[in-house]
Amino acid sequence: MEAADVFLPVIAWCRTRQSQDSQAEARRQKRRLKLLAFQRLRLKKLRETWRLREKVFKRSKLRRLCSHDAWMKAITHQFLRDHRRQKPKVWLHPRTSDWWENTAATFTDHEWLQHFRVSRETFSYLCATLNPQLKRQDTNYRLCIPLEKRVALTLYKLAHPCDYRTVADLFAVGVASVCHCVHEFCTVVIEVLKPQLVVTPNTFQLENIEECFHHTYQIPQCIGVLDSMNITISRPPHLNSEKPDRESYLAILFQAVVDDKGLFWDLSMSCPTWVNDNNGELLVCEDFSTRMHNVCRTDNSCVVIGDAGYPSKNWLLKPSTNTSGLTAEQELLNTQIIAARSVAHYAFERLNGRWRCLSRRNDCNVEIVKDMVETCCVLHNLCEKNNDMCLPDWIGQEPLQTVDENPQKNGDAESLDDLLQLIQDSAE
């Protein structure tokens, strides 16, 4: 057997096997390509599906948000509509205002004067005058405090030594509202009424005051009486000074000049200081002394009568303290000065009797206390000009009578002028 006969079948078989392998590899490659194409198509479909789902989700979420907003708007609109129809319950604490609306409305003139210290006519004048500054408007959420109630609760607070809570319970308002009304009323009274009621007299009025004091008390050249009182206050936070002794208390020195009719025409208040009742020395503020010096003029043609505890001033006439070595004329002048000082004493008694807030310790801020004192003085002048009654039980005794009788007759005016000049020269 030849070699060709042996290798030819082997070679044919190898070629056949190789052809079969090539065909199998081609089929596998084709299947692989089909699988890749199927996977790409499937991935594409998945992406499209996810995109569709995302669009649907976004649309549904937007729809939910839109429906929620519309629902909230509808609920809010319904709530506000119902809330406006009814009285606001969130802003109001249930209180009864029967005392002001029912009881006070039936007061007689005497009962009204006892509670508010002013007559109904004066009360109406205050409401009409202060209306542009104190009137408030209602809102959708709360009703404002009426003007008459604001004025009434302030007068009640000034007239009685009570706290803010008591006034709030009587007038059916909040404690903070009472505090705000009182402070606002005092500010408006000082701005509007003080320039009209507490003013320095002009030349004609000063001449009338001089003539009245000369005719009644035989004291020439007198244009007023100076007196003072201590307004007790609580210790403010910024005051660092310690209490000097157990008997001392913190107070504001209030000084005022009173004319012949018992009206205040000049006011002055000092800074808070520790005061002891055993200390008889009285201080005069620098600005007050300057004003009095300008009013009395540089030639000392006018004087103001003061207490013996005041320091010597060229515009201040005070009684002599050394009573042992006085002449008959000096003793007579001391008697006349003491009699003239009863005008200021009576005016301060009526001031304290009407406005009892001045007789107790005030817990407010120092500036607010000063505003309250000035307001009380303005209201005092208003009541005196309107001839409002000051009941004797307010001051705890019968009203003081004006001293008309004097040992010195009108014919001794020239000798009194000489005595006055002598005392002024000794003071200088």
| CA–CA distance, 393 with 117 (Å, rounded to integer) | 12
Beta bridge partners of 275: 249
| CA–CA distance, 76 with 299 (Å, rounded to integer) | 78
pLDDT band at 409 (very low <50, low <70, confident <90, very high): very low
- In this prediction, residues 186-204 reach a mean pLDDT of 93
- For 153, residues 6+ apart whose C-beta sits below 8 A from its C-beta are 167, 170, 171, 173, 178, 181, 182
Asked whether the beta carbons of 379 and 355 are under 8 A apart, the reply is yes
| CA–CA distance, 238 with 99 (Å, rounded to integer) | 39
Lowest mean pLDDT among 110-124, 355-369, 410-424: 410-424
Looking at residue 264, its pLDDT comes to 95
The residue with greater pLDDT, 399 or 187, is: 187
Token digits of residue 271: 């800074």
Asked whether the beta carbons of 384 and 261 are under 8 A apart, the reply is yes
Taking 60 as the threshold, does the pLDDT of residue 159 lie above it?
A: yes
Looking at residue 281, its pLDDT comes to 60
Looking at residue 83, its pLDDT comes to 60
| CA–CA distance, 388 with 113 (Å, rounded to integer) | 9
Sign of CA dihedral 260, 264, 270, 272: positive
pLDDT band at 422 (very low <50, low <70, confident <90, very high): very low
Looking at residue 87, its pLDDT comes to 53
- In this prediction, residues 205-225 reach a mean pLDDT of 90
Lowest mean pLDDT among 191-195, 292-296, 346-350: 292-296
With a pLDDT cut of 90, the percent of the chain lying above it is 31
| CA–CA distance, 71 with 104 (Å, rounded to integer) | 50
Looking at residue 82, its pLDDT comes to 65
pLDDT digits (tens, 9 = 90+) for 239-261: 777 777 777 888 888 999 999 99
What is the Cα 269 distance to its own chain's centre? 18
- In this prediction, residues 119-143 reach a mean pLDDT of 89
Q: Is 200 helix (H, G, I), strand (E, B) or coil?
A: coil
Residue 145: φ, ψ to 5°: -80, 125
**Most confidently modeled of 141-145, 190-194, 290-294?**
190-194
| CA–CA distance, 364 with 236 (Å, rounded to integer) | 9
pLDDT digits (tens, 9 = 90+) for 312-328: 888 888 887 766 677 78
What is the dihedral angle through the alpha carbons of 50, 51, 56, 60, rounded to the nearest 10 degrees?
90
- In this prediction, residues 164-187 reach a mean pLDDT of 92
pLDDT digits (tens, 9 = 90+) for 283-312: 776 677 788 878 876 555 788 998 888 888
| CA–CA distance, 373 with 358 (Å, rounded to integer) | 7
The residue with greater pLDDT, 299 or 3, is: 3
- Its pTM surpasses 0.75: no
| CA–CA distance, 134 with 113 (Å, rounded to integer) | 23
Count of C-beta atoms within a 10 Å radius of residue 396: 9
- In this prediction, residues 34-38 reach a mean pLDDT of 88
- For 281, residues 6+ apart whose C-beta sits below 8 A from its C-beta are 309
- For 275, residues 6+ apart whose C-beta sits below 8 A from its C-beta are 230, 248, 249, 250, 251, 253
- For 413, residues 6+ apart whose C-beta sits below 8 A from its C-beta are 214, 218, 220
